[in-house]
Structure 1
Amino acid sequence: MAHDAAYHWPPELMALLTDTIPLLCRSKDDVVDFLRGAGTSEALLGQFRQQLAVDRGAVSKYRIAREVLRQLNEQGDQGLGVRRALLRRVTEFEDFSTCWPDDQLKARGLVGQIRQVVGVKDSFTRMQQERDREHEARLADRRAAEEERRRRSALYSDLRAQLTALFPMEDPHKRGLELESLLNRFFALDGIGVRESFTLRLEDGEAAEQIDGVVELDGQTYLVEVKWWAKPLDINPVSRHMTRLMTRADVSGLMISASGYSAPAVAECERFLALKVMVLGELRELVLLLEREESLADWLRQKTRNAKLDRRPHTLLGVDF
Protein backbone atom coordinates (compact mmCIF):
# COMPACT_ATOMS: atom_id res chain seq x y z
CA MET A 1 0.00 0.00 0.00
CA ALA A 2 1.38 3.38 -0.95
CA HIS A 3 2.33 5.72 1.85
CA ASP A 4 4.44 8.80 2.42
CA ALA A 5 8.15 8.01 2.21
CA ALA A 6 8.63 9.43 5.71
CA TYR A 7 6.34 6.71 7.14
CA HIS A 8 8.43 3.61 7.68
CA TRP A 9 5.44 1.64 8.98
CA PRO A 10 2.59 1.13 6.49
CA PRO A 11 -0.97 1.68 7.81
CA GLU A 12 -1.75 -2.03 8.22
CA LEU A 13 1.29 -2.52 10.45
CA MET A 14 0.45 0.62 12.42
CA ALA A 15 -3.05 -0.71 13.08
CA LEU A 16 -1.74 -4.10 14.20
CA LEU A 17 0.82 -2.55 16.56
CA THR A 18 -1.81 -0.21 18.01
CA ASP A 19 -4.09 -3.17 18.75
CA THR A 20 -1.32 -5.47 20.02
CA ILE A 21 0.81 -3.42 22.42
CA PRO A 22 -2.08 -2.67 24.84
CA LEU A 23 -2.87 -6.40 24.98
CA LEU A 24 0.73 -7.24 25.89
CA CYS A 25 0.60 -4.87 28.88
CA ARG A 26 -1.79 -5.22 31.82
CA SER A 27 -1.74 -1.56 32.86
CA LYS A 28 -1.42 1.86 31.28
CA ASP A 29 1.88 2.34 33.10
CA ASP A 30 3.06 -0.95 31.59
CA VAL A 31 2.27 0.42 28.10
CA VAL A 32 4.39 3.50 28.80
CA ASP A 33 7.22 1.35 30.17
CA PHE A 34 6.99 -1.02 27.17
CA LEU A 35 7.41 1.93 24.81
CA ARG A 36 10.20 3.39 26.94
CA GLY A 37 12.00 0.07 26.91
CA ALA A 38 12.28 0.29 23.11
CA GLY A 39 13.99 3.67 23.40
CA THR A 40 11.02 6.03 23.08
CA SER A 41 12.04 9.39 24.49
CA GLU A 42 10.51 10.91 27.60
CA ALA A 43 9.56 13.90 25.45
CA LEU A 44 6.91 11.69 23.83
CA LEU A 45 5.93 9.79 26.95
CA GLY A 46 6.00 12.61 29.49
CA GLN A 47 2.52 13.97 28.71
CA PHE A 48 0.96 10.56 29.27
CA ARG A 49 2.80 10.06 32.56
CA GLN A 50 1.40 13.41 33.70
CA GLN A 51 -2.13 12.48 32.59
CA LEU A 52 -1.90 9.16 34.41
CA ALA A 53 -0.72 10.92 37.53
CA VAL A 54 -3.61 13.40 37.43
CA ASP A 55 -6.53 11.36 36.06
CA ARG A 56 -5.92 7.73 34.99
CA GLY A 57 -9.38 7.47 33.50
CA ALA A 58 -8.76 10.31 31.04
CA VAL A 59 -6.54 8.22 28.76
CA SER A 60 -6.69 4.57 27.61
CA LYS A 61 -3.95 2.05 26.83
CA TYR A 62 -4.96 2.18 23.15
CA ARG A 63 -4.78 5.98 22.99
CA ILE A 64 -1.29 5.97 24.53
CA ALA A 65 -0.11 3.36 21.99
CA ARG A 66 -1.80 5.09 19.05
CA GLU A 67 -0.44 8.58 19.77
CA VAL A 68 3.12 7.48 20.55
CA LEU A 69 3.30 5.21 17.49
CA ARG A 70 1.96 7.98 15.27
CA GLN A 71 4.60 10.42 16.49
CA LEU A 72 7.37 7.84 16.15
CA ASN A 73 6.29 7.17 12.57
CA GLU A 74 6.31 10.89 11.76
CA GLN A 75 9.92 11.19 12.87
CA GLY A 76 11.09 9.58 9.63
CA ASP A 77 14.72 8.46 9.67
CA GLN A 78 15.27 10.10 13.05
CA GLY A 79 12.95 7.59 14.71
CA LEU A 80 14.08 4.58 12.69
CA GLY A 81 16.13 3.04 15.51
CA VAL A 82 13.27 3.26 18.02
CA ARG A 83 10.75 1.87 15.52
CA ARG A 84 13.00 -1.10 14.79
CA ALA A 85 13.57 -1.78 18.49
CA LEU A 86 9.85 -1.55 19.23
CA LEU A 87 8.97 -3.87 16.38
CA ARG A 88 11.61 -6.33 17.57
CA ARG A 89 10.15 -6.28 21.10
CA VAL A 90 6.71 -7.14 19.73
CA THR A 91 7.79 -9.86 17.27
CA GLU A 92 10.06 -11.50 19.87
CA PHE A 93 7.39 -11.43 22.59
CA GLU A 94 6.97 -14.95 23.99
CA ASP A 95 5.67 -14.83 27.59
CA PHE A 96 1.94 -14.22 27.08
CA SER A 97 1.30 -15.19 30.70
CA THR A 98 2.01 -11.56 31.59
CA CYS A 99 -1.11 -10.52 29.64
CA TRP A 100 -4.61 -10.57 31.12
CA PRO A 101 -5.94 -14.12 30.76
CA ASP A 102 -8.78 -13.03 28.45
CA ASP A 103 -6.26 -11.18 26.24
CA GLN A 104 -3.66 -13.92 25.87
CA LEU A 105 -5.16 -15.74 22.87
CA LYS A 106 -5.93 -12.53 20.99
CA ALA A 107 -2.47 -11.12 21.76
CA ARG A 108 -0.82 -14.31 20.54
CA GLY A 109 -2.78 -14.12 17.28
CA LEU A 110 -1.94 -10.44 16.71
CA VAL A 111 1.76 -11.01 17.36
CA GLY A 112 1.62 -13.85 14.81
CA GLN A 113 0.04 -11.50 12.25
CA ILE A 114 2.71 -8.88 12.86
CA ARG A 115 5.43 -11.49 12.41
CA GLN A 116 3.85 -12.50 9.12
CA VAL A 117 3.57 -8.90 7.90
CA VAL A 118 7.15 -8.16 8.92
CA GLY A 119 8.34 -11.38 7.26
CA VAL A 120 6.65 -10.46 3.97
CA LYS A 121 8.00 -6.94 4.18
CA ASP A 122 11.49 -8.27 4.89
CA SER A 123 11.22 -10.61 1.90
CA PHE A 124 10.33 -7.72 -0.37
CA THR A 125 13.12 -5.69 1.21
CA ARG A 126 15.62 -8.47 0.57
CA MET A 127 14.41 -8.82 -3.02
CA GLN A 128 14.75 -5.08 -3.51
CA GLN A 129 18.20 -5.14 -1.95
CA GLU A 130 19.16 -7.98 -4.30
CA ARG A 131 17.86 -6.00 -7.27
CA ASP A 132 19.81 -3.00 -6.04
CA ARG A 133 22.96 -5.11 -5.72
CA GLU A 134 22.49 -6.48 -9.24
CA HIS A 135 21.94 -2.96 -10.53
CA GLU A 136 25.07 -1.74 -8.78
CA ALA A 137 27.01 -4.72 -10.15
CA ARG A 138 25.88 -3.88 -13.69
CA LEU A 139 26.83 -0.25 -13.17
CA ALA A 140 30.22 -1.32 -11.81
CA ASP A 141 30.74 -3.60 -14.83
CA ARG A 142 29.84 -0.75 -17.20
CA ARG A 143 32.15 1.62 -15.34
CA ALA A 144 34.96 -0.94 -15.45
CA ALA A 145 34.37 -1.54 -19.17
CA GLU A 146 34.40 2.19 -19.86
CA GLU A 147 37.56 2.63 -17.82
CA GLU A 148 39.18 -0.24 -19.73
CA ARG A 149 38.08 1.34 -23.03
CA ARG A 150 39.65 4.66 -22.02
CA ARG A 151 42.82 2.91 -20.90
CA ARG A 152 43.15 1.02 -24.18
CA SER A 153 42.37 4.14 -26.18
CA ALA A 154 45.16 6.00 -24.40
CA LEU A 155 47.57 3.13 -25.14
CA TYR A 156 46.53 3.08 -28.80
CA SER A 157 47.08 6.83 -28.98
CA ASP A 158 50.54 6.46 -27.43
CA LEU A 159 51.49 3.69 -29.88
CA ARG A 160 50.27 5.76 -32.84
CA ALA A 161 52.43 8.67 -31.73
CA GLN A 162 55.47 6.40 -31.34
CA LEU A 163 54.93 4.81 -34.75
CA THR A 164 54.55 8.20 -36.42
CA ALA A 165 57.85 9.28 -34.86
CA LEU A 166 59.65 6.37 -36.58
CA PHE A 167 59.02 7.48 -40.16
CA PRO A 168 61.44 10.45 -40.24
CA MET A 169 64.24 8.48 -38.52
CA GLU A 170 67.34 8.23 -40.72
CA ASP A 171 69.15 5.44 -38.89
CA PRO A 172 67.57 2.22 -40.27
CA HIS A 173 69.06 0.00 -37.56
CA LYS A 174 67.74 2.15 -34.73
CA ARG A 175 64.38 2.48 -36.49
CA GLY A 176 64.15 -1.30 -36.82
CA LEU A 177 64.86 -1.82 -33.12
CA GLU A 178 62.28 0.81 -32.16
CA LEU A 179 59.71 -0.85 -34.42
CA GLU A 180 60.35 -4.26 -32.82
CA SER A 181 59.85 -2.76 -29.36
CA LEU A 182 56.66 -0.99 -30.46
CA LEU A 183 55.23 -4.17 -31.98
CA ASN A 184 55.95 -6.08 -28.77
CA ARG A 185 53.90 -3.51 -26.83
CA PHE A 186 51.15 -3.69 -29.46
CA PHE A 187 51.00 -7.48 -29.13
CA ALA A 188 51.01 -7.27 -25.33
CA LEU A 189 48.10 -4.79 -25.43
CA ASP A 190 45.87 -7.61 -26.73
CA GLY A 191 47.11 -10.11 -24.18
CA ILE A 192 49.35 -11.91 -26.68
CA GLY A 193 52.34 -13.59 -25.05
CA VAL A 194 55.55 -11.90 -26.18
CA ARG A 195 59.21 -12.84 -26.04
CA GLU A 196 61.36 -9.98 -27.23
CA SER A 197 64.22 -10.26 -29.70
CA PHE A 198 67.06 -12.60 -28.84
CA THR A 199 70.22 -14.01 -30.41
CA LEU A 200 71.26 -17.65 -30.65
CA ARG A 201 75.03 -18.03 -30.41
CA LEU A 202 77.54 -20.77 -31.19
CA GLU A 203 79.83 -22.28 -28.56
CA ASP A 204 82.53 -19.71 -29.38
CA GLY A 205 80.03 -16.88 -28.75
CA GLU A 206 79.55 -15.97 -32.40
CA ALA A 207 75.98 -14.99 -33.32
CA ALA A 208 74.34 -17.81 -35.24
CA GLU A 209 70.77 -16.54 -35.50
CA GLN A 210 68.98 -13.30 -34.70
CA ILE A 211 65.29 -13.62 -33.80
CA ASP A 212 63.25 -10.44 -33.83
CA GLY A 213 60.65 -11.85 -31.46
CA VAL A 214 58.24 -14.63 -30.55
CA VAL A 215 54.53 -14.30 -29.89
CA GLU A 216 51.98 -16.84 -28.66
CA LEU A 217 48.28 -16.71 -29.50
CA ASP A 218 45.61 -19.37 -28.91
CA GLY A 219 48.28 -21.97 -28.15
CA GLN A 220 50.16 -21.26 -31.39
CA THR A 221 53.74 -19.96 -31.38
CA TYR A 222 54.86 -17.52 -34.08
CA LEU A 223 58.45 -16.68 -34.90
CA VAL A 224 58.41 -12.98 -35.85
CA GLU A 225 60.62 -11.17 -38.34
CA VAL A 226 60.32 -7.41 -38.90
CA LYS A 227 61.81 -5.58 -41.88
CA TRP A 228 61.78 -1.88 -42.75
CA TRP A 229 63.41 -1.73 -46.18
CA ALA A 230 63.10 0.80 -48.94
CA LYS A 231 62.02 -1.82 -51.49
CA PRO A 232 59.62 -4.79 -51.32
CA LEU A 233 61.16 -7.82 -49.66
CA ASP A 234 62.48 -10.31 -52.17
CA ILE A 235 62.66 -14.06 -51.81
CA ASN A 236 65.95 -14.13 -49.84
CA PRO A 237 64.87 -12.67 -46.44
CA VAL A 238 61.57 -14.54 -46.67
CA SER A 239 63.35 -17.83 -47.38
CA ARG A 240 65.74 -17.28 -44.47
CA HIS A 241 62.79 -16.90 -42.14
CA MET A 242 61.17 -20.05 -43.49
CA THR A 243 64.43 -21.92 -42.88
CA ARG A 244 64.29 -20.88 -39.22
CA LEU A 245 60.79 -22.36 -39.01
CA MET A 246 61.94 -25.70 -40.45
CA THR A 247 64.44 -26.13 -37.61
CA ARG A 248 61.69 -25.83 -34.98
CA ALA A 249 58.70 -28.05 -34.32
CA ASP A 250 55.17 -26.69 -34.12
CA VAL A 251 56.18 -23.11 -34.87
CA SER A 252 54.50 -20.78 -37.38
CA GLY A 253 55.98 -17.73 -39.03
CA LEU A 254 55.00 -14.06 -39.11
CA MET A 255 56.81 -11.46 -41.17
CA ILE A 256 55.98 -7.77 -41.07
CA SER A 257 57.34 -5.56 -43.81
CA ALA A 258 57.18 -1.77 -44.11
CA SER A 259 57.68 -2.00 -47.89
CA GLY A 260 55.58 -5.00 -48.95
CA TYR A 261 56.77 -8.15 -50.73
CA SER A 262 57.85 -9.11 -54.20
CA ALA A 263 55.71 -11.52 -56.23
CA PRO A 264 58.36 -14.31 -56.08
CA ALA A 265 58.53 -13.97 -52.28
CA VAL A 266 54.75 -14.34 -51.95
CA ALA A 267 54.74 -17.31 -54.35
CA GLU A 268 57.47 -19.03 -52.32
CA CYS A 269 55.40 -18.58 -49.14
CA GLU A 270 52.36 -20.07 -50.85
CA ARG A 271 54.34 -23.22 -51.66
CA PHE A 272 55.75 -23.30 -48.13
CA LEU A 273 52.21 -23.49 -46.68
CA ALA A 274 52.23 -27.21 -47.45
CA LEU A 275 54.83 -27.54 -44.66
CA LYS A 276 54.29 -24.68 -42.19
CA VAL A 277 51.99 -21.76 -41.59
CA MET A 278 53.58 -18.57 -42.86
CA VAL A 279 51.84 -15.20 -42.51
CA LEU A 280 52.93 -12.06 -44.35
CA GLY A 281 51.86 -8.77 -42.82
CA GLU A 282 52.53 -5.18 -43.75
CA LEU A 283 53.18 -2.17 -41.59
CA ARG A 284 50.31 -0.24 -43.19
CA GLU A 285 47.90 -2.86 -41.86
CA LEU A 286 49.13 -2.19 -38.34
CA VAL A 287 48.88 1.57 -38.89
CA LEU A 288 45.20 1.12 -39.73
CA LEU A 289 44.66 -1.12 -36.69
CA LEU A 290 46.12 1.57 -34.46
CA GLU A 291 44.06 4.31 -36.08
CA ARG A 292 40.85 2.30 -35.71
CA GLU A 293 41.86 0.96 -32.27
CA GLU A 294 41.16 -2.59 -33.45
CA SER A 295 42.47 -5.89 -32.12
CA LEU A 296 45.88 -7.09 -33.26
CA ALA A 297 44.99 -10.56 -31.98
CA ASP A 298 41.92 -10.72 -34.24
CA TRP A 299 44.04 -9.49 -37.14
CA LEU A 300 46.58 -12.30 -36.63
CA ARG A 301 43.80 -14.89 -36.24
CA GLN A 302 42.22 -13.85 -39.55
CA LYS A 303 45.58 -13.73 -41.34
CA THR A 304 46.33 -17.25 -40.05
CA ARG A 305 42.93 -18.58 -41.21
CA ASN A 306 43.51 -17.10 -44.66
CA ALA A 307 46.91 -18.77 -44.83
CA LYS A 308 45.69 -22.16 -43.63
CA LEU A 309 42.35 -22.45 -45.43
CA ASP A 310 42.70 -20.27 -48.53
CA ARG A 311 46.45 -20.75 -49.00
CA ARG A 312 46.84 -16.99 -49.05
CA PRO A 313 49.73 -15.95 -46.80
CA HIS A 314 49.55 -12.34 -47.98
CA THR A 315 46.15 -10.71 -47.52
CA LEU A 316 45.93 -7.02 -46.65
CA LEU A 317 43.17 -6.90 -44.05
CA GLY A 318 41.35 -3.61 -43.97
CA VAL A 319 43.27 -2.42 -47.01
CA ASP A 320 42.04 -4.42 -49.98
CA PHE A 321 38.48 -5.11 -48.74
Structure 2
Amino acid sequence: MRGNETGFPADIKGCMKDCILSLFWPRKDIVGFFEKHGCTKAEVSSLQIEGESGLKRHEIIDVLFDTLNARPDNGLGPFRAMLQSLLAWSHFDPYYFDKLRKLDRAAANKNLEHLRQLQEIRDAKIKADRERRATNDAARQQATATLDELRTEYLDLLANKTSRQQRGYALERILAELARLSRLETTEAFRVAGEQIDGAVKFDGEHYLIEAKWQDKSASNEPVYQFAGKVAGKLYGRGLFISVNGFSAEVVRSLILGKEIQTLFVDGEDLILVLEGHLNLRDMIDRKVKAAQTKGLIYVHPISGAEKKA
Protein backbone atom coordinates (compact mmCIF):
# COMPACT_ATOMS: atom_id res chain seq x y z
CA MET A 1 0.00 0.00 0.00
CA ARG A 2 1.37 3.37 -0.98
CA GLY A 3 0.29 6.71 0.37
CA ASN A 4 1.24 9.69 2.47
CA GLU A 5 0.93 7.75 5.69
CA THR A 6 2.79 4.61 4.65
CA GLY A 7 5.46 5.70 2.19
CA PHE A 8 8.15 8.32 2.32
CA PRO A 9 7.98 11.50 0.24
CA ALA A 10 10.92 12.15 -2.06
CA ASP A 11 12.02 15.21 -0.08
CA ILE A 12 12.35 13.21 3.15
CA LYS A 13 14.26 10.43 1.41
CA GLY A 14 16.58 12.98 -0.17
CA CYS A 15 17.20 14.64 3.17
CA MET A 16 17.85 11.27 4.82
CA LYS A 17 20.55 10.64 2.22
CA ASP A 18 22.13 14.02 2.99
CA CYS A 19 22.06 13.25 6.72
CA ILE A 20 23.71 9.86 6.32
CA LEU A 21 26.36 11.33 4.03
CA SER A 22 27.13 14.11 6.52
CA LEU A 23 27.32 11.78 9.57
CA PHE A 24 29.53 8.92 8.34
CA TRP A 25 32.86 9.08 6.57
CA PRO A 26 34.21 5.53 6.08
CA ARG A 27 32.23 3.63 3.50
CA LYS A 28 32.01 0.63 5.82
CA ASP A 29 30.33 2.82 8.45
CA ILE A 30 27.70 3.86 5.93
CA VAL A 31 27.01 0.22 5.12
CA GLY A 32 26.97 -0.57 8.84
CA PHE A 33 24.29 2.05 9.44
CA PHE A 34 22.04 0.36 6.87
CA GLU A 35 22.72 -3.09 8.34
CA LYS A 36 21.81 -1.89 11.83
CA HIS A 37 18.48 -0.63 10.53
CA GLY A 38 17.17 -3.65 8.65
CA CYS A 39 19.26 -4.08 5.50
CA THR A 40 20.09 -7.77 5.10
CA LYS A 41 23.52 -9.29 4.56
CA ALA A 42 22.39 -10.39 1.12
CA GLU A 43 21.49 -6.82 0.20
CA VAL A 44 24.89 -5.41 1.16
CA SER A 45 27.18 -8.34 0.31
CA SER A 46 27.35 -7.50 -3.39
CA LEU A 47 28.48 -3.92 -2.78
CA GLN A 48 32.03 -3.18 -3.88
CA ILE A 49 33.25 -0.58 -1.40
CA GLU A 50 36.99 -1.22 -1.17
CA GLY A 51 39.77 0.21 -3.32
CA GLU A 52 39.88 2.75 -6.09
CA SER A 53 37.16 0.96 -8.06
CA GLY A 54 34.84 0.83 -5.08
CA LEU A 55 31.57 2.73 -4.95
CA LYS A 56 31.77 6.30 -3.78
CA ARG A 57 30.04 7.18 -0.52
CA HIS A 58 26.99 8.75 -2.15
CA GLU A 59 26.76 5.86 -4.61
CA ILE A 60 26.56 3.36 -1.74
CA ILE A 61 23.64 5.28 -0.26
CA ASP A 62 21.88 5.53 -3.62
CA VAL A 63 22.29 1.82 -4.32
CA LEU A 64 20.99 0.78 -0.90
CA PHE A 65 18.01 3.14 -1.12
CA ASP A 66 17.17 1.68 -4.53
CA THR A 67 17.55 -1.84 -3.12
CA LEU A 68 15.13 -1.10 -0.30
CA ASN A 69 12.68 0.59 -2.67
CA ALA A 70 12.67 -2.57 -4.80
CA ARG A 71 11.44 -4.74 -1.93
CA PRO A 72 7.81 -5.92 -2.10
CA ASP A 73 7.15 -3.85 1.04
CA ASN A 74 9.05 -0.87 -0.40
CA GLY A 75 11.58 -1.16 2.42
CA LEU A 76 9.13 0.47 4.80
CA GLY A 77 10.59 -1.06 7.97
CA PRO A 78 14.24 -0.08 7.37
CA PHE A 79 13.29 3.38 6.11
CA ARG A 80 11.19 4.06 9.20
CA ALA A 81 13.92 2.71 11.49
CA MET A 82 16.56 4.91 9.85
CA LEU A 83 14.28 7.94 9.97
CA GLN A 84 13.62 7.43 13.68
CA SER A 85 17.35 7.19 14.43
CA LEU A 86 18.20 10.26 12.38
CA LEU A 87 15.47 12.36 13.99
CA ALA A 88 16.99 11.67 17.41
CA TRP A 89 20.65 11.72 16.30
CA SER A 90 23.15 13.40 18.62
CA HIS A 91 26.46 11.54 18.13
CA PHE A 92 29.21 13.12 16.06
CA ASP A 93 32.33 10.98 15.90
CA PRO A 94 35.11 13.32 17.11
CA TYR A 95 37.72 11.47 15.06
CA TYR A 96 36.12 12.39 11.73
CA PHE A 97 34.44 15.64 12.77
CA ASP A 98 37.15 17.22 14.94
CA LYS A 99 40.49 15.51 14.41
CA LEU A 100 40.47 14.73 10.68
CA ARG A 101 37.80 17.31 9.81
CA LYS A 102 36.44 15.04 7.13
CA LEU A 103 32.91 15.89 8.25
CA ASP A 104 31.37 19.23 9.17
CA ARG A 105 29.34 19.36 12.38
CA ALA A 106 27.43 22.50 11.34
CA ALA A 107 26.47 20.94 7.99
CA ALA A 108 25.39 17.72 9.68
CA ASN A 109 23.27 19.61 12.23
CA LYS A 110 21.72 21.65 9.43
CA ASN A 111 20.74 18.49 7.56
CA LEU A 112 19.33 16.89 10.70
CA GLU A 113 17.32 19.99 11.56
CA HIS A 114 15.97 20.13 8.02
CA LEU A 115 14.89 16.50 8.33
CA ARG A 116 13.08 17.25 11.59
CA GLN A 117 11.27 20.16 9.96
CA LEU A 118 10.22 18.02 7.01
CA GLN A 119 8.94 15.34 9.37
CA GLU A 120 6.96 17.88 11.39
CA ILE A 121 5.31 19.07 8.18
CA ARG A 122 4.61 15.47 7.19
CA ASP A 123 3.16 14.64 10.62
CA ALA A 124 0.87 17.66 10.46
CA LYS A 125 -0.33 16.67 6.98
CA ILE A 126 -0.90 13.07 8.04
CA LYS A 127 -2.92 14.25 11.04
CA ALA A 128 -5.02 16.57 8.87
CA ASP A 129 -5.59 13.82 6.28
CA ARG A 130 -6.57 11.35 9.00
CA GLU A 131 -9.04 13.78 10.55
CA ARG A 132 -10.53 14.58 7.15
CA ARG A 133 -10.94 10.89 6.35
CA ALA A 134 -12.52 10.27 9.74
CA THR A 135 -15.00 13.08 9.09
CA ASN A 136 -15.79 11.77 5.60
CA ASP A 137 -16.12 8.18 6.84
CA ALA A 138 -18.46 9.28 9.61
CA ALA A 139 -20.58 11.19 7.09
CA ARG A 140 -20.75 8.15 4.78
CA GLN A 141 -21.87 5.95 7.66
CA GLN A 142 -24.56 8.41 8.75
CA ALA A 143 -28.10 7.41 7.80
CA THR A 144 -29.80 9.80 5.39
CA ALA A 145 -33.34 8.44 5.76
CA THR A 146 -35.63 7.61 8.66
CA LEU A 147 -37.13 4.20 9.29
CA ASP A 148 -40.57 5.52 8.31
CA GLU A 149 -39.21 6.84 5.01
CA LEU A 150 -37.51 3.54 4.26
CA ARG A 151 -40.66 1.58 5.06
CA THR A 152 -42.72 3.77 2.74
CA GLU A 153 -40.15 3.38 -0.03
CA TYR A 154 -40.07 -0.40 0.39
CA LEU A 155 -43.85 -0.71 0.32
CA ASP A 156 -43.92 1.39 -2.84
CA LEU A 157 -41.47 -1.06 -4.37
CA LEU A 158 -43.74 -3.95 -3.40
CA ALA A 159 -46.56 -2.17 -5.20
CA ASN A 160 -44.50 -2.39 -8.41
CA LYS A 161 -44.29 1.36 -8.84
CA THR A 162 -40.82 1.08 -10.39
CA SER A 163 -39.05 -1.17 -12.88
CA ARG A 164 -37.42 -4.42 -11.78
CA GLN A 165 -33.92 -3.00 -12.22
CA GLN A 166 -34.81 0.15 -10.30
CA ARG A 167 -36.25 -2.01 -7.53
CA GLY A 168 -32.95 -3.87 -7.29
CA TYR A 169 -30.93 -0.68 -6.88
CA ALA A 170 -33.48 0.74 -4.44
CA LEU A 171 -33.33 -2.43 -2.34
CA GLU A 172 -29.54 -2.13 -2.07
CA ARG A 173 -29.93 1.46 -0.88
CA ILE A 174 -32.60 0.53 1.67
CA LEU A 175 -30.40 -2.22 3.09
CA ALA A 176 -27.45 0.16 3.38
CA GLU A 177 -29.61 2.73 5.18
CA LEU A 178 -30.98 0.09 7.57
CA ALA A 179 -27.41 -0.92 8.36
CA ARG A 180 -26.45 2.68 9.12
CA LEU A 181 -29.50 3.12 11.34
CA SER A 182 -28.26 0.06 13.26
CA ARG A 183 -24.76 1.55 13.54
CA LEU A 184 -23.29 -1.14 11.30
CA GLU A 185 -20.33 -0.23 9.13
CA THR A 186 -21.32 -0.51 5.48
CA THR A 187 -19.42 -0.99 2.23
CA GLU A 188 -21.02 0.16 -1.00
CA ALA A 189 -21.45 -2.14 -3.99
CA PHE A 190 -18.16 -2.98 -5.68
CA ARG A 191 -16.57 -5.25 -8.26
CA VAL A 192 -13.50 -7.40 -7.61
CA ALA A 193 -11.87 -9.94 -9.92
CA GLY A 194 -14.90 -9.88 -12.19
CA GLU A 195 -17.35 -10.45 -9.32
CA GLN A 196 -20.14 -7.98 -8.63
CA ILE A 197 -20.81 -7.57 -4.90
CA ASP A 198 -23.94 -5.68 -3.84
CA GLY A 199 -22.21 -4.43 -0.70
CA ALA A 200 -21.18 -5.58 2.76
CA VAL A 201 -21.89 -4.91 6.42
CA LYS A 202 -19.58 -5.36 9.36
CA PHE A 203 -21.18 -7.25 12.23
CA ASP A 204 -19.41 -8.40 15.39
CA GLY A 205 -16.01 -7.90 13.78
CA GLU A 206 -16.86 -9.86 10.63
CA HIS A 207 -17.65 -8.51 7.17
CA TYR A 208 -20.75 -10.05 5.58
CA LEU A 209 -21.07 -9.84 1.80
CA ILE A 210 -24.56 -8.97 0.62
CA GLU A 211 -26.52 -10.17 -2.38
CA ALA A 212 -29.95 -8.61 -2.81
CA LYS A 213 -32.39 -10.18 -5.28
CA TRP A 214 -35.81 -8.93 -6.24
CA GLN A 215 -37.27 -11.74 -8.29
CA ASP A 216 -40.82 -12.70 -9.14
CA LYS A 217 -40.42 -16.06 -7.40
CA SER A 218 -38.39 -17.75 -4.70
CA ALA A 219 -34.66 -17.56 -5.24
CA SER A 220 -33.50 -20.42 -7.44
CA ASN A 221 -30.37 -22.46 -6.98
CA GLU A 222 -28.10 -20.79 -9.53
CA PRO A 223 -27.79 -17.24 -8.10
CA VAL A 224 -27.50 -18.63 -4.56
CA TYR A 225 -24.75 -21.05 -5.60
CA GLN A 226 -22.92 -18.26 -7.40
CA PHE A 227 -23.08 -16.07 -4.32
CA ALA A 228 -21.99 -18.93 -2.06
CA GLY A 229 -18.97 -19.33 -4.32
CA LYS A 230 -18.11 -15.65 -3.93
CA VAL A 231 -18.36 -15.95 -0.15
CA ALA A 232 -16.28 -19.14 -0.02
CA GLY A 233 -13.48 -17.41 -1.93
CA LYS A 234 -12.97 -14.80 0.81
CA LEU A 235 -11.02 -15.01 4.07
CA TYR A 236 -13.44 -16.32 6.72
CA GLY A 237 -16.16 -15.60 4.17
CA ARG A 238 -19.66 -14.85 5.41
CA GLY A 239 -22.68 -13.68 3.48
CA LEU A 240 -26.29 -12.53 3.65
CA PHE A 241 -28.46 -13.48 0.69
CA ILE A 242 -31.61 -11.36 0.57
CA SER A 243 -34.48 -12.61 -1.58
CA VAL A 244 -37.66 -10.58 -1.18
CA ASN A 245 -39.85 -13.48 -2.29
CA GLY A 246 -38.13 -16.16 -0.24
CA PHE A 247 -36.23 -19.32 -1.11
CA SER A 248 -37.06 -22.71 -2.53
CA ALA A 249 -36.85 -25.73 -0.25
CA GLU A 250 -34.27 -27.26 -2.56
CA VAL A 251 -31.84 -24.35 -2.34
CA VAL A 252 -32.07 -24.20 1.45
CA ARG A 253 -31.44 -27.92 1.76
CA SER A 254 -28.61 -28.04 -0.78
CA LEU A 255 -26.71 -25.14 0.75
CA ILE A 256 -26.30 -26.79 4.16
CA LEU A 257 -26.11 -30.46 3.23
CA GLY A 258 -22.57 -31.58 4.03
CA LYS A 259 -21.22 -28.04 3.73
CA GLU A 260 -19.75 -25.43 6.03
CA ILE A 261 -22.37 -22.79 6.76
CA GLN A 262 -21.24 -19.41 5.46
CA THR A 263 -24.39 -17.86 3.98
CA LEU A 264 -27.56 -16.82 5.83
CA PHE A 265 -30.94 -16.21 4.21
CA VAL A 266 -33.12 -13.11 4.59
CA ASP A 267 -36.53 -12.69 2.97
CA GLY A 268 -39.17 -10.00 2.56
CA GLU A 269 -40.88 -10.84 5.85
CA ASP A 270 -37.60 -10.27 7.71
CA LEU A 271 -37.22 -6.88 6.06
CA ILE A 272 -40.77 -5.86 6.95
CA LEU A 273 -40.14 -6.74 10.60
CA VAL A 274 -37.07 -4.52 10.59
CA LEU A 275 -38.80 -1.70 8.72
CA GLU A 276 -41.73 -1.79 11.15
CA GLY A 277 -39.34 -1.47 14.08
CA HIS A 278 -39.88 -4.88 15.69
CA LEU A 279 -36.09 -5.24 15.69
CA ASN A 280 -33.22 -3.53 13.93
CA LEU A 281 -30.93 -4.99 11.29
CA ARG A 282 -28.18 -5.65 13.83
CA ASP A 283 -30.54 -7.70 16.00
CA MET A 284 -31.85 -9.58 12.98
CA ILE A 285 -28.36 -10.58 11.88
CA ASP A 286 -27.45 -11.53 15.44
CA ARG A 287 -30.42 -13.89 15.74
CA LYS A 288 -29.77 -15.49 12.38
CA VAL A 289 -26.10 -15.98 13.25
CA LYS A 290 -27.13 -17.56 16.56
CA ALA A 291 -29.46 -20.00 14.78
CA ALA A 292 -26.71 -20.96 12.35
CA GLN A 293 -24.09 -21.41 15.05
CA THR A 294 -26.26 -23.26 17.57
CA LYS A 295 -28.71 -25.17 15.36
CA GLY A 296 -27.15 -25.25 11.91
CA LEU A 297 -30.11 -23.34 10.44
CA ILE A 298 -29.68 -20.69 7.74
CA TYR A 299 -33.32 -19.68 7.15
CA VAL A 300 -35.13 -18.76 10.36
CA HIS A 301 -37.71 -16.31 11.64
CA PRO A 302 -35.72 -13.48 13.27
CA ILE A 303 -38.07 -13.10 16.26
CA SER A 304 -39.25 -16.62 17.08
CA GLY A 305 -36.07 -18.31 15.88
CA ALA A 306 -38.15 -21.05 14.25
CA GLU A 307 -36.95 -22.57 11.01
CA LYS A 308 -38.84 -21.23 8.02
CA LYS A 309 -40.44 -23.77 5.75
CA ALA A 310 -39.66 -22.93 2.17
TM-score (norm 2): 0.49
User: Which has the larger helix fraction?
Assistant: 1
TM-score (norm 1): 0.48
